[in-house]
Structure 1
Amino acid sequence: MSNRAFAPLIFICALPEALPLPVAGVSAIIGIPLMIISGQLMLGFSKPWLPKWIANRSLKRKDFEKIIKKILHYLQKCERVIRPRWRFVTSPLAQRLLGLLFLVLAFVIALPIPFGNLPPAVAIAIISLGIIEQDGVVIVLGVLAACAILVIMASAIAALLSAALVHLGIGDR
């Protein structure tokens, strides 16, 4: 698949985080490969590469089956809406910019924020699905959702830090 393998690989990596499944402790494990693949997409690598210590890891079969069963339902619904359009959004330059956005979202996924991994993972899944199907409309909607998610999460983190500093007597009251 060469350079076309980035989006499916990113989609597969984001799925365990995008679905509300009880798979504990996956955020950091998923976040690292997402960061590596996203960085490679951003830098314009011709095909994705993962270190062996990551590539040789896998999900438990039971967990993977849960993910597949859950995603098939959603993919069937998506098939009715997603189609090739606005292909300029899937150009190599656009994909490199999307790689940067994926990298930022993957970093957020890897952070130990309770329930903070689901929204960015959903945005990654939507955008990567748009890339796979070459649907620029879906990509743009996913990017808008990702930007909103990042603004909301950054605001929440800033508020928590401010409250913590005030509580410690360091910040303004």
Structure 2
Amino acid sequence: MRASRDKATDESTSEPRNLIELMQAIDAIDTPSGRIRFDEVLDAIGRRAFGPLLLLAGFITMLPIVGDIPGVPTLMALFTLLVCGQLLLGRRTFWLPAWLRNRSLPSDKLHRGLKWMYRPAKWIDRLLHQRITVLTGRVGIRFTAAACLLIALSMPPMEFIPFTANLAGAALTLFGLSIMARDGVLAIIGFVITGLSLGVVLVNLL
């Protein structure tokens, strides 16, 4: 019964094609309990495509108010590790443990962060174009996944270094958008920000 319900959810969910559509899908989640479970967010955006899942991890980490909640960067790091690891192993669908899917965020903080991001998100979406698509093809995506693994491994200590987790979130967001829009320029910027964020962490740890 559970499998049938999950299949129906996957078939009825339309994957977001840009940042605004991702935000609208999250904003539309009805949560009378006052908290939004991660599983509900995955239901809203779809569970099968690497780009939207990577964009989700980055966006939540980058989101004002939400990304600074203790534990959120580490949670998104674990999510990123699982998704990128499975992609590099050649899986076409992504498995996530129940304890991760059942984690939740305060809905009021999430909606406030989304409201703040709508205007810059519209500006970002206007910049999306198909270009240098070799960086978003099969081989390029594997390089992206490897970079995201490095980001995820560095995110837990970022909780103790102001603003670095948001910087990592920006890199993951750019990588997710680059894959969805087949925009290699965003991938290049993502690699630059990855190097910058890892450099800041190393400087603060040494």
Alignment TM-score, normalising by the size of structure 2: 0.69
Question: Matches of residues 78-93 of structure 1 in structure 2 within 5 Å?
Answer: 78-93=124-139
Change (3 A) 1:30 1:15: same
Q: Which residue of 1 aligns with 2:161?
A: 114
Superposition RMSD in Å: 2.1
SS at match of 1:66: helix
Q: Which residue of 1 aligns with 2:30?
A: none
| Contact 1:13 1:30 (8 Å CA) reproduced | yes
| Contact 1:3 1:46 (8 Å CA) reproduced | no
Please state how far the C-alpha of 1:31 moved relative to its aligned partner: 1.8
- Which structure 2 residue ranges, 5 or more long, are not aligned? 1-14, 16-45
| Contact 2:54 2:175 (8 Å CA) reproduced | no
Please state how far the C-alpha of 1:138 moved relative to its aligned partner: 1.0
Please state how far the C-alpha of 1:90 moved relative to its aligned partner: 0.7
Q: Which residue of 1 aligns with 2:205?
A: 157
AA partner of residue 50 (structure 2): F
The superposition leaves residues 24-46 of structure 1 with CA deviations (integer Å, 9 ceiling, x where unpaired) of 21222222112111212232321
AA partner of residue 168 (structure 2): P
Q: Percent identity?
A: 23
Please state how far the C-alpha of 1:135 moved relative to its aligned partner: 0.3
Q: Which residue of 1 aligns with 2:61?
A: 17
Alpha-carbon separation, structure 2, partners of 1:20 and 1:61: 13
Please state how far the C-alpha of 1:48 moved relative to its aligned partner: 1.9
Alpha-carbon separation, structure 1, partners of 2:148 and 2:114: 22
Q: 2:190 aligns with which of 139, 142, 153?
A: 142
Change (3 A) 1:143 1:35: same
Bigger Rg, structure 1 or 2 = 1
- 1:126 matched to 2:174? The reply is yes
Count of residue pairs the alignment pairs up: 158
- Which structure 1 residue ranges, 5 or more long, are not aligned? 159-173
Alpha-carbon separation, structure 1, partners of 2:52 and 2:165: 19
| Contact 1:41 1:95 (8 Å CA) reproduced | no
Change (3 A) 1:5 1:16: same
The superposition leaves residues 54-104 of structure 1 with CA deviations (integer Å, 9 ceiling, x where unpaired) of 122232221221232233222200122111111111111211121111111
Alpha-carbon separation, structure 1, partners of 2:143 and 2:89: 9
Q: Which residue of 1 aligns with 2:108?
A: 62
AA partner of residue 69 (structure 2): A
AA partner of residue 137 (structure 1): V
Please state how far the C-alpha of 1:3 moved relative to its aligned partner: 8.8
Q: Which moved more, 1:82-91 or 1:68-77?
A: 68-77
Alpha-carbon separation, structure 1, partners of 2:117 and 2:90: 29
| Contact 2:134 2:184 (8 Å CA) reproduced | yes
| Contact 2:63 2:114 (8 Å CA) reproduced | no
